[in-house]
């Protein structure tokens, strides 16, 4: 759930191919908060804002962070059990387990505090058959122009990345290990992920079944300010940096999304020249036309077992904070439980080669071009502060 409102919901429908799914507001009896729910494939986003002046919780969050991801929710089988285990480990329970009910059934919810001001809602559906959650009705309006636009081809959430201030990544990883019984799935350090100017460290945590994956990043000292540090400064704390959405046809998806007016980061032509040379010595054969991948500026990462294709949007709000990723994975087993609804679940591919680590340098360099345009690719001083170039 986020601190956007109807304009953001319309943006995701118009630019990214989402469809209105559900609505909660004054017309449905909600007097304090309005929420617009959009869906594409198994991906569901909720855009919420305050209805009345003086909403302290939403107002303070918006002033501090700007538009951003407030909550990442998980579908669970036993909400009470997870909350009790988290409580025993010292987790902050923002909302105790409680039941919402309407004519379509019951849903049990609880909310835990994670990094920064971000929360996790645990959702136990108990056979609920409604559109979304109790209290939500059909949308009041659907833009008829949406039917004339090409499909976004986005299918499910692949992973959600959280940025942390320096030296706070490991404590956050431990939070997931203790409170949600996650484990370390993959990691990379600043010796592997660096450009001429900046670097990062990253650890991916996953649940027991490895159907939910949460990369946790932190900046590392470089010559200039990292884009991770830029995010933390403009967001005001740790928070969700980007959401990756999986597609089975990234070429068609990106062509369609660009036709809809979506903006993506770009990489120089030298990236594809170097990639072609490296692939000559690899066991992996890319089935897509490399000329088309270059035309669309889609990145390629690979190991001996398979490869992934990915591309990143520019920030989807004025602050240089949250952006989105489109990703396609090849030759890796997808979770076998994809038949279940993904309304709040984060189902991901079972891929061990990583999260585009080979592309982080190219991604960082692309972001650094935008950072420089914003005046934020500043020089780091010996004490870790920044100064203008």
What distance in Å separates the CA atoms of residue 364 and residue 378, rounded to the nearest whole number?
14
The answer to whether 242 is annotated as binding is yes
d(CA 78, CA 342): 17
Query: In 169-268, which ranges are continuous DSSP H helix?
Result: 169-179, 227-235, 250-259
Helix (H) or strand (E) holding 16: helix 6-16
Distance CA 55, CA 130 (A): 28
| Helix axes 227-235 and 357-374, enclosed angle (nearest 10) | 60
CA distance 114 to 385: 27
Q: Is 126 annotated as a binding residue?
A: no
**159 marked as part of a ligand binding site:** yes
Strands 213-220 and 156-163: parallel
Cα(325)–Cα(312) distance, rounded to whole angstroms?
A: 4
Burial of 86 (0-12, 13-18, 19+ CB in 10 A): buried
CB 222 within 8 A of CB 199: yes
Residue showing tokens 């692309």: 366
Give the residue ranges of the annotated binding site for Fe cation. 159, 242, 325
Give the residue ranges of the annotated binding site. 159, 242, 325
């Amino acid at each position: 759930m986020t601190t956007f409102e109807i304009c953001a919901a319309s943006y995701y429908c118009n630019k990214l191919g989402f469809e209105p799914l559900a609505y909660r507001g004054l017309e449905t009896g909600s007097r304090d908060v309005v929420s617009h729910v959009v869906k594409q494939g198994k991906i569901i986003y909720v855009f919420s804002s305050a209805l009345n002046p003086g909403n302290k919780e939403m107002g303070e969050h918006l002033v501090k962070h700007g538009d951003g991801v407030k909550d990442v929710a998980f579908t669970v089988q036993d909400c009470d059990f997870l909350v009790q285990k988290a409580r025993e480990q010292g987790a902050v329970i923002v909302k105790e387990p409680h039941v919402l009910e309407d004519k379509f059934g019951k849903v049990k919810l609880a909310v835990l505090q994670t990094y920064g001001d971000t929360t996790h809602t645990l959702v136990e559906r108990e056979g609920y058959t409604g559109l979304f959650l109790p209290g939500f009705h059909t949308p009041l309006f659907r833009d008829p122009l949406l039917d004339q636009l090409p499909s976004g081809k986005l299918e499910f959430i692949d992973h959600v990345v959280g940025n942390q201030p320096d030296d706070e990544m490991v404590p956050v990883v431990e939070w997931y290990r203790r409170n949600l019984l996650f484990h370390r799935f993959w990691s990379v350090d600043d010796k592997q992920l660096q450009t001429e100017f900046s670097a990062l460290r990253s650890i991916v945590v996953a649940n027991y079944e490895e159907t939910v994956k949460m990369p946790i990043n932190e900046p590392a000292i470089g010559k200039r300010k990292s884009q991770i540090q830029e995010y933390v400064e403009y967001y005001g704390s740790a928070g969700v940096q980007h959401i990756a959405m999986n597609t089975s046809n990234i070429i068609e998806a990106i062509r369609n999304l660009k036709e809809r007016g979506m903006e993506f980061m770009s990489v120089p032509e030298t990236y594809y020249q170097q990639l072609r040379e490296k692939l000559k010595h690899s066991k992996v054969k890319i089935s897509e036309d490399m000329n088309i991948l270059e035309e669309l500026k889609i990145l390629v990462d690979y190991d001996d077992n398979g490869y992934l294709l990915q591309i990143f949007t520019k920030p989807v709000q004025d602050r240089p904070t949250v952006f989105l990723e489109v990703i396609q994975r090849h030759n890796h087993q997808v979770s076998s439980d994809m038949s279940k609804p993904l309304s709040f679940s984060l189902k991901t591919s079972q891929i061990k080669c990583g999260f585009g680590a080979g592309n982080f340098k190219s991604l960082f360099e692309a972001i650094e071009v935008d950072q420089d345009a914003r005046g934020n690719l500043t020089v780091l001083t010996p004490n870790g502060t920044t100064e203008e170039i």
